[in-house]
Structure 1
């Protein structure tokens, strides 16, 4: 399954949307590497990029929220912290057990949570930033 930034996932904020696209591209690259048996080196570098980029993206979103005094900032940040932990656990599983069906299923589940978050919470953030600008 390829992840794409479809119209229903676009927030209308150029920064947030471009970063979501890059996140999806990184996940797609990881899934491709896993399914093609590209070896641990490729998987390791892609996992590390994904973890680093999620942290960068969440930080960028949180800066927007504080700059524009987003009222749901505390809950949004709490989600981000929990998600980073979940993603780290999921990618650790891929690192240790390899790209087996269970690990890739868990990754798909983890990305599904992110997509649901984008569809609701990130759209609220973008709408708030737009109205406060």
Structure 2
């Protein structure tokens, strides 16, 4: 199951939504690399690329939250930190195996794809709504 940016994942914030689209493409690249090749090096490199983009995206989101004084910043950042640990755990799992096993792919789907959906629908949508409310309130 590949990740998909459906309507219910759109937050209405252009920066967040465009970065989520890119993030989903990186997640799907990891899944495709596992499907198309049992090559450990390819899987490791693709997962590293996902990690780099995740760090970039989380940094941008956290900067936005600081700029708008988002009241849920600490809880949101804790979610990001937990996800970063998940990526590290997946890297460890991949290092311990000969290549991307079915168990590894299942973990990516469970711990990355499903987490992302829940996170976007709850946490990220809340940030976008808060920013929109704050921006519109300042115009009144």
Unpaired segments ≥5 residues, structure 2? 136-140
1:106 corresponds to = 107
1:130 corresponds to = 132
RMSD (Å), alpha carbons:
1.3
Deviation (angstroms), 1:115: 1.2
Deviation (angstroms), 1:38: 5.6
Deviation (angstroms), 1:75: 0.6
Number of matched residues? 133
Alignment partners' CA distance in 1, 2:70 and 2:122: 15
Deviation (angstroms), 1:131: 1.6
Partners of 1:91 and 1:107 within 8 A in 2: no
- Map 1:1-133; keep pairs closer than 5 Å: 1-37=1-37, 39-97=39-97, 98-111=99-112, 112-133=114-135
Output the TM-score relative to the length of structure 1: 0.93
Q: Deviations over 1:14-57 (max 9, x none)?
A: 11111111111111111111111162332222111101111111
For 2:5, what is the secondary structure of its paired residue?
Answer: coil
Partners of 2:40 and 2:100 within 8 A in 1: no
Deviation (angstroms), 1:93: 1.1
